[in-house]
Structure 1
Amino acid sequence: MTRKLLEQFFMIRAATFQDIPELEKLLVLSVRGLSREHYSPGQIESALKYIFGIDTQLISDGTYYIFEIDKIIAGCGGWSMRRTLYGGDQHKKLQDTLLDPITEAARIRAFFVHPDYARRGIGRQIMGYCEQQAKANGFSSLELGATLPGVPLYKAMGFRDVANIVEILSDGEKLELVKMIKSI
């Protein structure tokens, strides 16, 4: 599908709880398909178990979005007004408190694209929508915890590195991430 066709038939909409089974499938396909050049098979499977997952708080808040092409979920991602930087429900231990939009950055969260639709502008489209929504809610900057495959995309969209993170997972695997920030 060419970019021109993609522009004609796509839709961004808020995710619902009914979407979770399809989002979970997309997440696994995305991580396994797009992370192989950056992470070992052990790191990928461990991250799927302990970090990468659906954060239902984003769905409750109405800040998690689905990118559909002809009613096929090709990508997803969102922004958050809450403190968590990354991870699904299985990664969070405490209640996710609200951020102060005057002094803190909104969080960009859980971007996943189906490998069959990678590098077609889906991540950029969702990010643009997230930026608009965060700005409309009083935020002037964005922060995210990028996986290594995502770093080039986020840099191309104006994010800059602020810290390297090594997440030690429950089974001893280590996952490298990059904390990034952008003014909006």
Structure 2
Amino acid sequence: MERIEIENLAVQIRAARLEDAGIITRHRYPGEMGEHLAVYEDWLPTVFIGGVYLGWLAQSDGRVIGGAGLLLINWQPSRTDPHPLRGRVVNVFVEPDFRGRGVARSLMQTALAEARRLGLSTLNLGTSEQGRPLYASLGFQAAATEMWLKIKTEHGLSGDSPASNRIP
């Protein structure tokens, strides 16, 4: 567990564990209700055990105040990146009372250090307008080269994306 001082706030950053699945789910879907929360929480142990999801939680006075995750994605090597894994930063969340104090930056620095340790050379993430300045300050750049397609399955549309055109 890493102990740091952030703007007069004692914070410990620790590795997330299987029993943190409920907290991580709430970070991913803050304030939401619905069956998608149970689906996500049930999915988390499978990726923890498989080493596909790495996560960190920030605590202050024993209370979890934020978190971040890194999904390891098996990816094809390319001309510009021969590494077969890429990372997707997910679930970056800080409780509202603790925002703007460097907690998210510390969590991101922890995730980036682990990505470097693993030899990952490509990371991506989805962001809100609120998070964009933090990610840009860490070196992330916007990319306009991705497109989404929502495929209708017997269970309805699969996944969530910013796509506005949906297949009937």
Count how many residue pairs are aligned between Structure 1 and Structure 2. 143
Select which of 4, 7, 10 maps to 1:4: 7
**Secondary structure of the equivalent of 2:127?**
strand
Q: Which amino acid aligns with 2:15?
A: A
Pairing of 1:59-138 with structure 2 (within 5 A)? 59-60=48-49, 61=51, 63-82=54-73, 98-99=74-75, 102=83, 104-138=85-119
Amino acid at match of 1:151: R
Larger Rg: 2
How far residue 106 of structure 1 moved from its aligned partner, in angstroms, is 1.8
TM-score (ref. length: structure 1): 0.60
Change over 3 Å in CA distance of 1:167–1:77 after alignment to 2: farther
Any idea what SS the aligned residue of 2:101 has?
A: coil
Root-mean-square deviation (Å):
3.5
* Identical pairs, percent: 23
On the 8 A contact 1:147/1:176 being kept in 2, the answer is no
AA matched with 2:68: G
Stretches of structure 1 lacking an aligned partner (at least 5 in a row): 33-43, 83-97, 178-184
How far apart are the structure 1 equivalents of 2:135 and 2:127?
8
Q: CA deviation at 1:147?
A: 3.3
Structure with the higher fraction of residues in helix conformation: 1
Task: Find the counterpart in structure 1 of residue 136 from structure 2.
Answer: 155
Letter in 1 for 2:71: S
CA–CA distance in structure 2, aligned partners of residues 78 and 114 of structure 1: 16
Q: Which has the higher contact order (CA 8 A, sep 6+)?
A: 1
Unaligned runs of 5+ in 2: 164-168
Distance apart, 1:160 and its partner CA: 0.4
Cα distance, 1:146–1:53 mapped onto 2, change above 3 Å: farther
